[in-house]
Structure 1
Amino acid sequence: MKKIIVLFTTLSVLAGCAGKSGSEEELQQIKQNTIDSINKAQVKQRTIDSMNKVNGKAVEKNTQKQEVTTTTTTNTGTGTTTTTTQKKGWSKTAKGAVIGAGVGAIGGAIIDKKHPGQGAILGGALGAGAGAVTGNVMDKKDGRK
């Protein structure tokens, strides 16, 4: 997933710079800045994960299960006991929309240098839509929806 984000960001930068006159050096600098920022985020996440392991905290997934037990009684005695499991946490559709909106907003602000706010709004909307669609496909594969 991280490789896809890196690829998408790099392609977005390249597509945004294609129509503008700029030097090859500027393009390389933009690529390097994007790669550096993603690498910093990965290093921070690895550090957090390792600290959680050292402190004895397991890295939790967002899909937790909770058991619910209900017992019904009638005049003649105890009836049936049913156990159901419910998934908690965010669906992959929601996660995809949030991640897509964030990446799209950052990409849109970088690409549209004259109007970064407008670019961020447009990029965020497009990214949220693409992320939600991708997450929905993943939810359907997992049988969540």
Structure 2
Amino acid sequence: MKQLLVIFTAATLLSACNNNKSDSAEVQQAKQMAIDSMKMEAKVQQAKQSAIDSMRMEEVKKEESVDKNDKTASNSLTAVHEKGSAVVASNASPTVSTPSASSETAAPVVHKKKKKMSNTVKGALIGAGVGAISGAVIDKNRPGKGAVIGGLIGAGVGAGTGAIIDKKERQRGN
């Protein structure tokens, strides 16, 4: 019986060693896959950046061509005006520039200011949190009920305190 146990243990150890080698190959393969995916992600990022750069270059070229067209049209209109001829509109460039199209893409993004949270709301939130924690600690037999009651009382007291602070700030502003 001892011999069977020794043979079984030896077979288990040998098979475990063999599995480690295959696990090692699997680990190496997983590492290589991770490296490959990182390289692909870098290539994707580089492609995105090059697309963005080319779009910006096209935008600059369009703005330059619009500026050139505007100067050409204004120069021909000025020359016509100086000659006193009213039929010069046919000689003007037929290209019509739309300043709104170029200004929309080049205009800076205007961020709306976040609306500041009033002191009443802040007080209610803080009071509800503190009240819920306090209520749960005080009522050890039924902490859920204590948290609800404490939260409601705390929210009321906090909202009242915040309303008083808001009123004082309005009075200072006037």
**TM-score between the two structures when normalised by the length of structure 1:** 0.39
Higher relative contact order (CA 8 A, sep 6+): 1
**TM-score between the two structures when normalised by the length of structure 2:** 0.32
When you count helix as a share of all residues, which structure comes out higher? 2
When you count strand as a share of all residues, which structure comes out higher? 1
Q: Tell me which structure has the larger Cα radius of gyration.
A: 2
